[in-house]
Amino acid sequence: MNKQVLLADQIVSAIHSVVGAGPVNLHEPSFTGNEWLYVKECLDSTFVSSVGKFSDRFEDDLVAYTGAKHAVAVVNGTAALHIALMLAGVKPNDEVLVPALTFIATANAISYCSAIPHFVDSEEATLGMATDKLRDYLQSHTHQKSGQCVNISTGKVIRAMVPMHTYGHPVDINGLLAVAHDFNIAIVEDAAESLGSTYHGQHTGTFGLMGTLSFNGNKTITTGGGGAIITNDVSIARRAKHITTTAKLPHAWEFIHDEIGYNYRLPNLNAALGCAQLEQLPEKLIAKRSLFDLYKVAFELLEGFKLLVEPAQCHSNYWLQTIILNADQAHHRDDILKATNESGLMTRPVWRLMHQLKPFAKCPRMDLTMAEQLAQRLINIPSSPNLLKIVE
Amino acid sequence: MNKQVLLADQIVSAIHSVVGAGPVNLHEPSFTGNEWLYVKECLDSTFVSSVGKFSDRFEDDLVAYTGAKHAVAVVNGTAALHIALMLAGVKPNDEVLVPALTFIATANAISYCSAIPHFVDSEEATLGMATDKLRDYLQSHTHQKSGQCVNISTGKVIRAMVPMHTYGHPVDINGLLAVAHDFNIAIVEDAAESLGSTYHGQHTGTFGLMGTLSFNGNKTITTGGGGAIITNDVSIARRAKHITTTAKLPHAWEFIHDEIGYNYRLPNLNAALGCAQLEQLPEKLIAKRSLFDLYKVAFELLEGFKLLVEPAQCHSNYWLQTIILNADQAHHRDDILKATNESGLMTRPVWRLMHQLKPFAKCPRMDLTMAEQLAQRLINIPSSPNLLKIVE
């Protein structure tokens, strides 16, 4: 009991030494650039809705920033995933590989396609999909049929995989691309958390057929609610734009829609906020990295856990700063969560694993030992880019 | 040819006499109240996303304005319809009665439930679902089985109907409620266009099990993009809130979701705009009614068409001012559309009827003679509430 209290207390003190007395949120947005200017311009122009210069500009700015050839802004990251999966060819009753360790949106979007999430284990270095384990699993549990990967147990086609860059740390995407290639599986990258993160110098979300971004209020930059699909494929980009804008054909006055589309366009008002936020992304990333450095120093002499570090040859946005308890300290997780939150420091564990949630309990899955271990060991600590100002 | 040109020219002149030289849009928003104040407050508070005081206030304000007991704000009217249909019990392969004369969102939302739109004819007085014709049709084409209305031809359950208050004019909702009652069909009212419209003194959208609103940029008031579900049923309201916010259970730090939910919450930023807009709704409605009065005078001596008037015992918001050509003048429609648009007056015909769109061409439908006639005769003319300021 004493040691347990000690570890929790040590962590509380160390975090306070970095972020000040608090209370401190896990992650909050800050608007210190052109937000007012652009939002006001948006109101003054009256173009707040589905048409407007900021919607177009935000897409152009995302292209310029990520290096993807095309970007389509949508109402949120979930909508981006939904459409990306559709355009990756996911059909009703297909299976889609997805980490058990993810936010529920990844799995929900699969359900919106009437497809079935198939859960994959994680690896400790990246917290993302475990490449080698996945390859072995697919080797023994699937066969190829007419160029498709078929789950031997269920007989269903495994159409796509959705690796997620957890907390902003790039997944082993090259490894996964090789697996996807070898087994004829499309990749949609869930880069909701990793805007600003690169893998071998290339922006996350630009490796797969499509990548999806989120600009929810808790993300590194925000549009209130918003997301985007990024892709290098022009025909996919055009389809994404069409289908997210009710599939209406261009005409001066006629309303003709050639397929069942969605009302997923990001409003110009939200895009205006996004343009201003994106201008500040580089400085936010610097601030987040500095915060990491301060935590590193503060935790240096403590034992029983470590601060999560970006994978080799990767540059992480450090969206959520994360401590990972040593395996033999996992039983202290809830005490640490309790002590930090009671002390005004908002912390949280990883999301409840997908296969442990009622709606997905019966979905197919591989052995998830590492994800289950990680779920007991991971704790996110305050990560806002503006935290440094408190201690300046 | 001469007469045809004459009618178009007469209409062009008459509209110019009301709205000025133009160019004039069909419907555009105006922000002349507390929009900037509230949006700025939202930015300053940093609560722009899924949590914030304006989201809650906007729902409270909608309750106060419409007289519904509960309101749940969502990202747009399409999302509101999607969730309302789910909560009305619409299941895959059910049929849902919907006017052929509507915007595609009504039919799309049915498709999102994997259900099938079943198209209903309209009546001239309201442009909405034709009550008597629907009753006769259901009498001869359905039978009751275990308290459900079954389509004899398809064997599928007709679970719900979605009457739409076209251009803001209330549909014959009392008549439709009686039909729905007699045939065991749930009613979700698509009140996307009718905020501010009442039927026998009661706000549209509050008669059915649920009603849905839209605050898209082209509506009477706007949140950029936004919508709401209104209902008098507390358990439905609670379910709607839960399912539109990823079905997450309340907990200080755990992420547990008990069903497949949606990321449909209206961001606080957009709700802030909505709060300010709703304050101005009464004056916008007065302005729109005054515009109707001016059009009435301007069109008084012209022949071949009439200005659409609110149904008896109804108070319309006159969202889109509409002229309806006499049946024998329907062939002039496209000339009038061309002449007005070329003259800088944005006008448009009704949406392409649903059964004439590729994605819905094979859906079940009754005889749609009146909808097809109306589609050749209806033209929306400039309707913005701020148009009056141009001529003041």
Contact flag B270-A28 (C-beta cutoff 8 Å) = no
Contact flag A75-B225 (C-beta cutoff 8 Å) = yes
Mean per-residue pLDDT of chain B: 95
Provide the residue ranges of all domains of chain B, joining segments of one domain with +. Answer: 2-28+281-391, 35-279
Contact flag A49-B225 (C-beta cutoff 8 Å) = yes
- Judged by a CB distance cut-off of 8 A, whether residue A242 touches chain B is no
What is the DSSP-derived secondary structure letter of residue B44? Answer: H
pLDDT in tens, B210-262: 999 999 999 999 999 999 999 999 999 999 999 999 999 999 889 999 999 99
**Closest by CA position to B203, among listed B66, B342, B45, B377:** B66
Show the tokens assigned to B254.
């755990």
pLDDT in tens, B178-207: 999 999 999 999 999 999 999 999 999 999
- Judged by a CB distance cut-off of 8 A, whether residue B29 touches chain A is yes
Contact flag A267-B29 (C-beta cutoff 8 Å) = no
Q: CA–CA separation, A82 vs A101, rounded Å?
A: 19
Among A48, A216, A352, select the one facing B222 at the smallest CB separation: A48
What is the reported pLDDT for A3? 56
Among B36, B46, B337, select the one facing A29 at the smallest CB separation: B46
Measure in Å the smallest separation between the Cα of B31 and chain A Cα atoms. 7
- Strand A70-74 with A148-151, pairing: unpaired
Q: CA–CA separation, A116 vs A124, rounded Å?
A: 25
What is the reported pLDDT for A236? 98
Q: Are the C-beta atoms of residues B119 and B161 closer than 8 Å to each other?
A: no
Contact flag B43-A50 (C-beta cutoff 8 Å) = no
Q: Mutate which of B41, B257, B270, B280 to disrupt the A interface (most A C-beta within 10 Å)?
A: B257
Measure in Å the smallest separation between the Cα of B72 and chain A Cα atoms. 17
A positions 262-291 inside 8 Å of B (CB): 262-263, 265-270, 273
Show the tokens assigned to B160.
């719900």
CATH architecture of B2-28+281-391: Alpha-Beta Complex (3.90)
Q: CA–CA separation, A135 vs B99, rounded Å?
A: 51
Between helix A281-299 and helix A2-19 the angle, nearest 10°, is 140
Other CB atoms within 10 Å distance of the CB of residue A342: 11
Cβ-Cβ contacts under 8 Å, A257 against chain B: 104, 352, 357-359
Q: CA–CA separation, B164 vs B186, rounded Å?
A: 14
Cβ-Cβ contacts under 8 Å, A222 against chain B: 48-49
Contact flag A48-B224 (C-beta cutoff 8 Å) = yes
What is the reported pLDDT for B153? 97
Contact flag A104-B29 (C-beta cutoff 8 Å) = no
Q: Are the C-beta atoms of residues A210 and A185 closer than 8 Å to each other?
A: no
Rg of chain A, C-alpha, whole Å: 21
Contact flag B273-A48 (C-beta cutoff 8 Å) = yes
What is the reported pLDDT for A22? 82
Beta bridge partners, B190, equal B164, B212
- Judged by a CB distance cut-off of 8 A, whether residue A33 touches chain B is no
Amino acid at B351: W
Domain A35-279: assigned CATH number: 3.40.640.10
- Report how far apart, in Å, the C-alpha atoms of B196 and of each of A106, A180, A213, B57, B158 are: 39, 54, 37, 18, 30
B positions 86-125 inside 8 Å of A (CB): 103-105, 108, 111, 114
pLDDT in tens, B365-387: 999 999 999 999 999 999 999 88
Cβ-Cβ contacts under 8 Å, A79 against chain B: 263
- Within 13 Å and on the Cβ side, how many CA atoms surround A320? 24
Q: Residue length, chain A?
A: 392
ipTM of this predicted structure: 0.94
Cβ-Cβ contacts under 8 Å, B50 against chain A: 216-217, 225
What is the reported pLDDT for A392? 42
Beta bridge partners, A150, equal A143, A157
At B388, the pLDDT band (50, 70, 90 cuts) reads: confident
What is the reported pLDDT for B390? 45
3-state secondary structure at position A24: strand
Nearest residue in B to A81, CA atom: B263
- Judged by a CB distance cut-off of 8 A, whether residue B361 touches chain A is no
Q: Are the C-beta atoms of residues A95 and A156 closer than 8 Å to each other?
A: yes
Among A30, A43, A351, select the one facing B31 at the smallest CB separation: A43
Show the tokens assigned to B340.
């007005």
Contact flag B270-A267 (C-beta cutoff 8 Å) = yes
Q: Mutate which of A260, A273, A320 to disrupt the B interface (most B C-beta within 10 Å)?
A: A260
Show the tokens assigned to B80.
């509101």
Q: CA–CA separation, A47 vs B225, rounded Å?
A: 11
Show the tokens assigned to B262.
């949606």
Among B222, B260, B351, select the one facing A359 at the smallest CB separation: B260
**Closest by CA position to A13, among listed A385, A370, A242, A344:** A344
pLDDT in tens, B264-300: 999 999 999 999 999 999 999 999 999 999 999 999 9
Is residue A370 exposed (0-12), middle (13-18) or buried (19+ Cβ within 10 Å)?
middle
- Report how far apart, in Å, the C-alpha atoms of B25 and of each of A269, B267, B386 are: 20, 28, 11
Q: Which residues contact B139 (CB under 8 A, 6 or more apart)?
A: none
Among A39, A103, A268, select the one facing B39 at the smallest CB separation: A39
From the centroid of its chain, how far is CA A315? 15
pLDDT cut 90: percent of chain B above it: 93
Contact flag B108-A262 (C-beta cutoff 8 Å) = yes
Among A40, A253, A258, select the one facing B337 at the smallest CB separation: A253
Topology of A2-27+281-391 in CATH? Answer: Aspartate Aminotransferase, domain 1 (3.90.1150)
Among A46, A77, A263, select the one facing B78 at the smallest CB separation: A263
Give the DSSP per-residue string, A192-207: TT-TT-EETTEETTSS
Q: Mutate which of A166, A255, A264 to disrupt the B interface (most B C-beta within 10 Å)?
A: A255
Among B217, B260, B337, select the one facing A108 at the smallest CB separation: B260
Between helix B281-299 and helix B268-279 the angle, nearest 10°, is 60
Q: Please state the rounded mean pLDDT for residues B89-104.
A: 97
Beta bridge partners, A142, equal A151
Contact flag A267-B224 (C-beta cutoff 8 Å) = yes
What is the reported pLDDT for A5? 55
Q: CA–CA separation, B287 vs B310, rounded Å?
A: 16
Tell me the longest C-alpha to C-alpha distance in chain B: 74
Nearest residue in B to A79, CA atom: B263
- Residue corresponding to tokens 């993300």: A219
pLDDT cut 70: percent of chain B above it: 98
A positions 168-187 inside 8 Å of B (CB): none
The Cα angle at residue B216 between residues A107 and B257, in degrees rounded to 5:
25
Q: Across the A/B interface, how many CB contacts are shorter than 8 Å?
A: 180
Other CB atoms within 10 Å distance of the CB of residue A156: 17
Asked whether the predicted pLDDT for residue B392 surpasses 50, the reply is: no
- Judged by a CB distance cut-off of 8 A, whether residue B347 touches chain A is yes
Cβ-Cβ contacts under 8 Å, A256 against chain B: 352, 357
**Closest by CA position to A369, among listed A384, A355, A381:** A355
Among B77, B254, B267, select the one facing A225 at the smallest CB separation: B267
pLDDT tens series, chain A, 392 aa: 455 558 999 999 999 999 999 899 999 999 999 999 999 999 999 888 888 899 999 999 999 999 999 999 999 999 999 999 999 999 999 999 999 999 999 999 999 999 999 999 999 999 999 999 999 999 999 999 999 999 999 999 999 999 999 999 999 999 999 999 999 999 999 999 999 999 999 999 999 999 999 999 999 999 999 999 999 999 999 999 999 999 999 998 899 999 999 999 999 999 999 999 999 999 999 999 999 999 999 999 999 999 999 999 999 999 999 999 999 999 999 999 999 999 999 999 999 999 999 999 999 999 999 999 999 999 999 999 988 754 44
